[in-house]
């Protein structure tokens, strides 16, 4: 890849702003993941209730991504991002000053989904500035904002223990969201290639296409697996291996780093070798790692297994969104919202799956085996669909990418 050509092909300030917006929002979105093991000291919860608490922000993000995806096409991604950050203040203030029951925490958890919905604005904001041959890298860089999870897992429990309260962590989170709002407002700029505002009927037209549902499933496994595991691993380490809240979150951080920082690598490799090949390989690695994890080996073995598994899921996120702009050139805002919502739904079901099966069977084994089986199913579906994709819209290699660039540009 020609670095200079990439930098000149788009808007680096906007790309950086999209990353910061997504990074900070993701940090806030997963606040309850590590904090759950401290919160459960105040509210007695069984395995299923703990899983539900950390899964609800993901559900809220899934639903609201559809809303922000629609707003992105109507008022533009920059305004949508600004509104999203302002609304994110609501659950932060509520969790800081007012939440004093488990039921209220459930509401706060759902409202934290506003931050998770940032995906639907951040990626189109970046994507619309870049030509097809750089979509994987541009989307990967913006999408690497899921690295915000690292800050949460690394510092949330430490801050809660230092100040003697988990509530204060919600208040402290107001500081970075305010700083990023100012930077985003000053530097981010909507691309001149904005699509015409979409009607609700346009969503129906997209949903009638088989490929939409295929990408929803693929992203539901990769992104859903990443964010679901990110939110649940602190509970897993605390419950299965008896680690303290801080140490459990530290081990989670190691695993989250793999998924976060390898997402751009997945997009770059998909640009180089093709998204189809990358996804089939990555789902294979994921299936193998999850199958090994299901044996619940000692801690010194499970860390590298989870690291590789999360790395595969993170790279898979970048690979999926290398393909999406090729297939849906003029509906990217809509499809980003729909596929992003599906990824969130996957992240909602994963903690609940693991928590419910832990409660009913007393072990995490069956849950991880099911995740492994789902990854294998994705390989089969891609294998069945790839012939049609390659005949109709899929491009790979220097010539086809140049042809795509000459014939059309990503307008949404």
Q: Which DSSP string do the residues of 128-146 spell out, in sequence order?
A: TTS-GGGHHHHHHHHHGGG
Q: Two tokens at 373?
A: 């089986």
- Asked if 127 contacts 191 with a C-beta cutoff of 8 angstroms, the reply is no
CATH number corresponding to 12-190+199-392: 1.20.1250.20
Q: What is the pLDDT of residue 112?
A: 96
The torsion region of residue 10 among left (phi > 0), alpha (psi -120 to 50) and beta comes to beta
Residues 6+ apart with CB under 8 A from 362: none
Report the run of H or E that residue 294 belongs to, with start and end.
none
Give pLDDT tens digits for 192-235.
877 777 777 877 888 889 899 999 999 999 999 998 999 999 99
pLDDT for 274 beyond 90: no
Which has more confidence, 51 or 74? Answer: 51
Tokens 């659950």 -> residue: 91
Query: If you ran DSSP here, which 8-state letter would residue 40 be given?
Result: T
- Asked if 347 contacts 65 with a C-beta cutoff of 8 angstroms, the reply is no
CA distances from 153 to 36, 183, 234, 257, 398 (A): 11, 24, 8, 10, 41
Rounded percentage of the chain residues whose pLDDT exceeds 90: 57
Q: Two tokens at 231?
A: 């939110």
Q: Two tokens at 209?
A: 């296409």
Q: How many residues does the chain have?
A: 412
Nearest partner of 36 among 235, 265, 300, judged by Cα: 235
Give pLDDT tens digits for 293-350.
999 999 999 999 999 999 999 999 888 988 887 888 777 767 877 888 888 899 999 9
Q: What is the pLDDT of residue 22?
A: 92
The torsion region of residue 46 among left (phi > 0), alpha (psi -120 to 50) and beta comes to beta
Mean pLDDT for the stretch of residues 118-141: 80
The torsion region of residue 363 among left (phi > 0), alpha (psi -120 to 50) and beta comes to beta
Tokens 């305004």 -> residue: 79
C-alpha span between 337 and 84 (Å, rounded): 14
Residues 6+ apart with CB under 8 A from 377: none
Find the radius of gyration of the CA atoms of the chain: 20
Q: What is the pLDDT of residue 1?
A: 53
Nearest partner of 127 among 223, 193, 209, judged by Cα: 193
The torsion region of residue 100 among left (phi > 0), alpha (psi -120 to 50) and beta comes to alpha
Computed over every residue of the chain, the mean pLDDT equals 87
C-alpha span between 19 and 75 (Å, rounded): 20
CA distances from 351 to 14, 264, 281, 367 (A): 34, 25, 25, 9
Give pLDDT tens digits for 253-268.
999 988 888 887 888 8
Q: Is the pTM of this model over 0.75?
A: yes
Q: What is the pLDDT of residue 200?
A: 73
pLDDT for 399 beyond 50: no
Tokens 């990854």 -> residue: 375
């Amino acid at each position: 890849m020609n670095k200079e050509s990439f930098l000149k092909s788009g808007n680096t300030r906007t790309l950086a702003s999209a990353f910061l917006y997504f990074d900070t929002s993701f940090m806030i979105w997963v606040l309850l993941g590590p904090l759950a093991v401290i919160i459960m000291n105040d509210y007695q919860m069984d395995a299923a209730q703990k899983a539900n608490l950390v899964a609800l922000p993901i559900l809220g993000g899934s639903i609201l991504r559809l809303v922000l995806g629609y707003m992105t096409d109507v008022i533009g991604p920059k305004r949508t991002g600004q509104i999203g950050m302002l609304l994110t203040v609501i659950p932060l203030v509520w969790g800081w000053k007012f939440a004093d029951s488990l039921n209220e925490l459930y509401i706060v958890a759902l409202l934290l989904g506003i931050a998770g919905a940032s995906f639907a604005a951040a990626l189109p904001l970046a994507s619309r500035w870049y030509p097809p041959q750089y979509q994987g890298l541009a989307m990967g860089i913006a999408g690497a904002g899921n690295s915000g999870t690292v800050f949460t897992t690394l510092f949330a429990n430490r801050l809660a223990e230092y100040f003697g309260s988990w509530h204060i962590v919600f208040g402290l989170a107001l500081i970075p969201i305010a700083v990023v709002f100012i930077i985003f407002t000053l530097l981010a700029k909507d691309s001149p290639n904005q699509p015409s505002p979409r009607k609700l009927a346009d969503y129906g037209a997209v949903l009638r296409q088989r490929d939409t549902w295929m990408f929803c499933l693929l992203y539901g496994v990769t992104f859903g697996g990443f964010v679901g595991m990110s939110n649940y691993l602190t509970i897993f380490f605390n419950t299965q291996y008896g680690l303290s809240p801080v140490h459990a979150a530290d081990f989670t951080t190691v695993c989250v780093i793999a998924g976060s920082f390898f997402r751009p690598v997945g997009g770059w490799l998909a640009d180089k070798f093709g998204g189809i090949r990358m996804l089939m390989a990555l789902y294979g690695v994921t299936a193998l790692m999850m199958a090994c994890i299901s044996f619940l080996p000692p801690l010194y073995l499970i860390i590298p297994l989870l690291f590789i598994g999360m790395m595969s899921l993170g790279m898979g996120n970048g690979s999926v969104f290398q393909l999406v702009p090729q297939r849906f050139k003029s509906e990217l805002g809509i499809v980003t919202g729909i596929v992003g919502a599906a990824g969130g739904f996957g992240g909602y079901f994963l903690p609940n799956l693991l928590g419910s099966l832990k409660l009913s069977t007393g072990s995490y084994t069956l849950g991880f085996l099911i995740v492994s089986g789902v990854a294998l199913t994705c390989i089969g579906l891609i294998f069945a669909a790839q012939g049609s994709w390659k005949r109709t819209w899929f491009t790979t290699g220097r010539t086809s990418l140049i042809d795509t660039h000459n014939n059309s540009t990503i307008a949404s």
